[in-house]
A = this chain, B = another copy of it.
Amino acid sequence: VPKTTRTVPSGSREFERIAWLSQLFAKQPRPASVMLGIGDDAAIVKTGRNHWVWTVDACVQGVHFDWRWLSPIEVGWRSFHAAVSDVAAMGASPLAALCSLALPKDVQGKVFRGIAQGQARAARSLGCAIIGGNLTRASEVSVHTTVLGATTRPICRAGARIADEIWVFGNLGAAAAGLIVAQRKTLEQQTLAERWCARQWRRPTALIRAGRSLRKAAHAAIDVSDGLVADLGHVADASCLRAVIDAEALDQALDTRLHKAARALDRTALEFALFGGEDYALIAAGPARRRPDGARAIGQFEKGSGVWLQTATGRQRLSPAGFDHFR
């Protein structure tokens, strides 16, 4: 499965650099109101009874997007939803955003306007106003989006408990299949199922309502930007547990359109769901009795470590086999 996403496999240079930064910045004195630092989807700042959840996310030409496959409006839309998704994954409602936009000197006006219109549409769709930002020259287009959200109870990556179910919201795998479809076929050549997948990839949606439903239910949560195995692995690692995916339950949780599109691409829907990125689906850990509406259980947490796949014939440990920005 081709990846344009940002998995950070342990042992990789990016992983090591983040760990190094985390140590460096941890040495600083920190106000008591700051509850969580580096290593989660977002930082948390306590203010009165509320918690503010704060994230920054980047979307860079040639790394996160390619003008051959995405329009400026889609780049604006995706970059905004991707940033808000980090806030949604912590159970927070987005309040407002700032956008720092870098543009080449000779960028066309319609590219600039398209990106901004995509951001504005995304902001409206999510009820998250863009209240400021920065505009600078650069040699390539990049969009850095910072989002503030609020919640009474932030949900982190750490905190999953033994026997918690693994919950999924959203369409795992569809974006990864949609990326291949968009690269290989014109709109006219695409089946309805393929078009749906391509649309999931072009126009992802940050799952704010799903994230909010987790506040009283989940012990841990994350959004799937790098693939289920990679991101579920972060929850398992942070919670010091093993995540066991039930292959049949996962397969049944996937959209029939993904199954159809995968067959046409000589792949399986499961493969896309496990390793494909840019879903902006949410995964969470919580007790079965509290499973929220709309969540599908696809496995559970147990003692141990790593992410495993349970099939009718046995169990195997999965590796994210991700894409490392710096390799």
Residues of A within 8 A of B (CB): 6, 14, 17-18, 20-21, 24-25, 27-31, 33-34, 36-38, 40, 42-43, 45, 47-48, 50, 52, 54-58, 60, 62-64, 95-96, 98-100, 102-103, 105, 112-113, 116-117, 120, 123-124, 127, 129-140, 142, 144, 146, 148, 325-326
Contact = CB atoms under 8 A, between A and B. Distances in A.
Copies of this protein chain in the complex: 2
A135 B43 contact: no
Top 6 closest pairs, chain A to chain B, by CB: A43-B132, A137-B325, A144-B144, A43-B131, A146-B146, A30-B129
Nearest to A39: B132
A85 to B, nearest CB: 13
B100 A144 contact: yes
Nearest to A327: B105
A285 B113 CA distance: 36
A25 B129 contact: yes
Nearest to A130: B25
Nearest to A14: B135
A104 B326 CA distance: 8
A133 B38 contact: yes
A61 to B, nearest CB: 8
B58 A129 contact: no
